[in-house]
Amino acid sequence: MHKVTLIPGDGIGPEITQVVIEVFDKLKAPISWEMVDAGAKAIKKYGTPLPEVVLESIKRNKVALKGPITTPVGEGFRSVNVTLREKLNLYANLRPVKSLPGINNKFEKIDLVIIRENTECLYKGIEYSIDESTSCAVRVITRAASEKIAKYAFDYARRHDRKKVTAVHKANIQKLTDGLFLQSIRNISNNYPEVEYEEKIVDNMSMQLVLNPEKYDVIVCPNLYGDILSDLAAGLIGGLGLAPGANIGDEIAVFEAVHGSAPDIAGKGIANPIALLRSSVMLLEYLEEYQLAKKLEFAIEKAVEDKNILTPDLKGKGTTESLKNKIISMLDL
Ligand code: NAI
Ligand code: MG
């Protein structure tokens, strides 16, 4: 039995984590959940969005599944998501972007992985105002973190038999920070002669992804570019409702969807649970429950063939419930 920390989160978080609980139940996955609150519920209960009990639980269990957490814009507390990644040194944010059959007709064969550096860049949150009309942010890039993410990306490519790694940067403008990032990735790339290596400037990369996403394999980037490109790439396969992710450290992993708390649809029963379910497939793989992972992945692929039960983000007329039921009914095929 694996003990896994479960954070329901804000907005649509509780609705979609509930789906995972039910699906895992039906799968008879050998997992016992330890439920802890972060975000809005934690503020009510403990006066802070990220109470110590959450960190303790994750450190103890080493594995967590997390719903999205709302972050106030322009004021208020620092992002719980960013703080978690930093405090637990979850240095790699792994975001596979894979087409689901029949969902997006334009691109049927997207199968890329964005590997986003997860601890530094602008997410250090170092900002200051000089006066009322001028504010600055400090962008931190270190050789240690850049080499670590490079090594993770190339090892990932080797382990998963992927052919190419593309490093994304803006070293033409950010000569010192992105320059250091790029130099670090190049250094590490030399140790992996069997993996093709290329570099793309982030603006061009955005266009290339929109035009030719099927050409890309593993993409490694600093924190901010990875954040932006992963939402862009999610759009290419049919939206954020389909894009999973994992925050990986040397000993701890926290699985979560790419999307946020989606306040515009929260409580309406129409959130797409697939992004979090695909994150749960990754969780099962991490726990070496490969058969269960395959079963769930297959059930998701089969379920989306029935267009009637799809949620509105996939242009369907269904609900979270109808999609969940269909996936459950496909588990035994
Ligand atoms: P969002 O990702 O929550 O939503 C963007 C759009 O995608 C919305 O129209 C939403 O309805 C749709 N969408 C997202 N997930 C969906 C799903 N599962 N099914 C159907 N539609 C879905 O981004 P937004 O609105 O910019 O941010 C909302 C809040 O989430 C903010 O407070 C933000 O800071 C937070 N956030 C948290 C993250 C996390 O916990 N890791 C990640 C990203 C944002
Ligand atoms: Mg994001």
Please state the domain extents for the chain: 1-110+238-333, 119-236
Asked whether this chain's domains 1-110+238-333 and 119-236 adopt the same fold, the reply is no
pLDDT tens digits along 280-320: 999 999 999 999 999 999 999 999 999 999 999 999 999 99
Based on the residue annotation, tell me whether 203 is a catalytic residue of this protein.
yes
pLDDT tens digits along 155-213: 999 999 999 999 999 999 999 999 999 999 999 999 999 999 999 999 999 999 999 99
Comparing CA positions, the residue from 203, 238, 236, 205 lying closest to residue 219 is: 205
Residue nearest (by alpha carbon) to ligand 1 atom 25: 262
231, 68 Cβ separation under 8 angstroms: no
User: Separation of 331 CA from ligand 2 center, angstroms?
Assistant: 30
In this prediction, residue 329 carries a pLDDT of 97
Q: Does residue 137 surpass a pLDDT of 80?
A: yes
Based on the residue annotation, tell me whether 45 is a catalytic residue of this protein.
no
Nearest-ligand number for the alpha carbon of 233: 2
119-236 placed in CATH 3.40.50.1820: no
Flag whether the pTM goes above 0.90: yes
- The mean of the pLDDT values for the chain is 97
In this prediction, residue 290 carries a pLDDT of 97
In this prediction, residue 332 carries a pLDDT of 83
User: Separation of 228 CA from ligand 2 center, angstroms?
Assistant: 6
In this prediction, residue 178 carries a pLDDT of 98
Q: Which residues line ligand 1 (CB under 6 A)?
A: 12, 68-71, 81, 240-241, 256, 259-265, 271-272, 275, 313
In this prediction, residue 105 carries a pLDDT of 73
Architecture of the domain defined by 1-110+238-333: 3-Layer(aba) Sandwich (3.40)
pLDDT tens digits along 80-117: 999 999 999 999 999 999 999 999 778 999 999 999 99
